[in-house]
Amino acid sequence: MDHAADTFRTDLMTITRHVLNEQSRHPESRGDLTILLSHIVLGCKFVASAVNKAGLAKLTGLAGETNVQGEEQKKLDVLSNEVFVNALVSSGRTCVLVSEEDEKATFVDPKLRGKYCVCFDPLDGSSNIDCGVSIGTIFGIYMIKNQDTVTLEEVLQPGKDMIAAGYCMYGSSCTLVLSTGNGVNGFTLDPSLGEFIMTHPDIKIPPKGKIYSVNEGNAKNWDTPTAKYVEKCKYPTDGSSPKSLRYIGSMVADVHRTLLYGGIFLYPADKKSPSGKLRVMYEVFPMSFLMEEAGGQSFTG
């Protein structure tokens, strides 16, 4: 006879339980990071639900404004940003917030201030919203250095000083990948429970991969070493098989696949974007933190 545990998971490692476990490694901690992360998780659940009914709830299409990156904002960019700003401020654990969709950093009212700074991309992969392809949210968390005089310096810290980073992918299932500096774990949203359950413990990127991921439409503007590298992926000179190309155009989805299957994801500098298109504070640093925590590498050209 089937035992229930063969069919159902009965000992559920929710994301909250996991973060509390991690916290117990730091006896001095007072649970602030756990509270902050639970507010981020709430934001992710809200966006997951909005993404699921985007077409039905008239959430596709443009909002009518342009963001500081010069991009036309989608309705879901604006909605997700509002949800995360509210969730982060109301956690009472943040002091400075930086979002892709806000021109200026948000300095939290001193009455609600906490010790964390969060840089985030509320909705990554906006161009994929209207056709139902995977999109995501990216966040990186720093500890404030000087709580008395809070300045922008707090969010201009080196990426390696992050204390936690993660992303949530709204894909065929909703997956949240998190590191608090002690490896990387993946959680899948169980919609019937409304909880993220650990499904990918201790993620390590495979040491070798067969996939490269890049927008090759930009090739004419690449520098020679980049062009040569990609050429070698297609025409290897060492007798190995050519690599497969996969490119979704949502960094979260492209990085998630790279983390699980191995390989390389790149957005090289080109003549159009001399430092690359991706934004350091809320795209590159958090993803690099996760990649390195998973045993991979992250570098600039």
What, of Mn ion, ligand AHG, none, does residue 190 touch, CB below 5 to 8 Å by kind? none
- Residue span 115-154 as binding mask against Mn ion, x where in contact by CB under 5 A, dash where not: ------x-xx-x----------------------------
Q: Which of 32, 38, 71, 206 binds Mn ion (CB under 5 A)?
A: 71
Binding piece for Mn ion, criterion CB under 5 A, among 34-42, 44-52, 70-78, 262-270: 70-78
Compute the chain's Rg from CA coordinates. Answer: 20
DSSP one-letter code for 176: E
How far is it, in rounded angstroms, from Cα 51 to Cα 45?
10
Q: Which of 100, 154, 254, 293 binds Mn ion (CB under 5 A)?
A: 100
**Residue 36 dihedral angles phi and psi, to the nearest 5°:** -60, -45
Pick left, alpha or beta for residue 202 (phi over 0 → left; psi -120 to 50 → alpha; otherwise beta): left
Note whether 293 binds Mn ion by CB under 5 A: no
Name the residue nearer to Mn ion (CB basis): 19 or 176.
176
Cβ 169 to Mn ion, closest distance in Å? 12
Q: Which residues bind ligand AHG (CB under 6 A)?
A: 71, 100, 121, 124-127, 215, 249-251, 254, 267, 277
Q: Is 297 exposed, middle or buried (CB count within 10 Å of its CB: 0-12, 13-18, 19+)? A: exposed
Nearest to 275 by CA among 249, 301, 298: 301
List interacting residues with Mn ion (CB under 5 A): 71, 100, 121, 123-124, 126
